[in-house]
Amino acid sequence: MTALVVAGPSGLSEHDGGPRHPEQPSRLVAVMEGVRALGPEHEVVSPAVSEASMDDLARVHERDYLDWLASFCAEGGGDIDADTYARPDSWTAARRAAGAGLAALGELVQRGDGVAFVPVRPPGHHATGNRAMGFCLLNNVAVAAASRTALGERVLIVDWDVHHGNGTQEIFWDDPAVLYVSTHQHPLYPGTGRPGEVGGPAAAGLTLNLPLPAGATGDVVRAALDEEARATIEEFGPDWVLVSCGFDAHRDDPLSDLQLSSGDFAELARVVRDFAPRPGRLALFLEGGYQAEALASSVEATLGALLGGSGRPTAPTSGGPGFAHLRADGATRQRAIEKVRTEADR
């Protein structure tokens, strides 16, 4: 039996932006309903979670930014931009969210087996090294990834949130130890994630963006990962697979226009599981997802697929646009990679 390591939930009551903000504590209630729906036949392990240290955070965030965020929250917080806020308890909540990812990976290392799920808020993948944005204060998946690259390991980050993880891309832009692969609706917030964005001179080709048009269905997203990204992933040879696991590509989500079902997330989970080099090297980090029923059913379907159960997902979707974009974008990526390498050789 594959154990499910659940590091959380963290943020059930903290960091509350009020009932009108889509990134609400109630999201975690729905997420945990999906976990409980897996049933008693699955072993669930809950490691202790503590706040990430400043040294942990400083691997990916600038010290000046961390000091500013801590002070901003201590002084009462407020709106950071049109979408992003902080409250007096947000600094602690954000550090616990980042710490949960570290606890999850630590538990997997200790067990040598299992799959980890990190249900936390605030989410993280839009947070850059020196800026909070897109509901995100600290970049949870980046903190976890950097904890492993610091030990000489290689990390694949698959980001299937409907919004491009600009913060994660920026942090690892020129890092040869991290491969960042993102499927996302484009155009959509934050506007980044074009196929020609391929990484810096030391990591050309290790940023792989797979933008999709509005209306794309699950078959297109699966093809993006299983066909377009697989060769790059296999050549990279990751020691770890971390997933920025947003569920806002669901067709019922109010913030996007992709058309996935919960069954599609189960299929994506099976594809991503194959990228892990061995058991105990796969962890999923909650990012977006803003419709309660879609969140619960998608979490259940995703984790059920990874634990070997059939679950009760709705049928996968197909027939939407996007395949032509994938084929054309592959040529764009290759030209961009060659340009970066040529300029680096000068």
Could you tell me the maximum CA-CA distance found in the chain, to the nearest angstrom?
A: 60
pLDDT in tens, 62-87: 999 999 999 999 999 999 999 999 99
pLDDT in tens, 191-203: 999 999 999 999 9
Amino acid code (one letter) for 198: V
Whole-angstrom Cα distance, residue 216 to residue 322? 6
Residue 311 has pLDDT above 70, yes or no: no
pLDDT in tens, 122-161: 999 999 999 999 999 999 999 999 999 999 999 999 999 9
Dihedral sign of CA atoms 303, 309, 312, 317 in order: positive
pLDDT in tens, 265-307: 999 999 999 999 999 999 999 999 999 999 999 999 999 999 9
pTM, rounded to two decimals = 0.98
Whether the CB-CB separation of 61 and 130 falls below 8 Å is answered with: yes
Whether the CB-CB separation of 333 and 181 falls below 8 Å is answered with: no
Whole-angstrom Cα distance, residue 135 to residue 97? 13
Active-site annotation, residues: 126
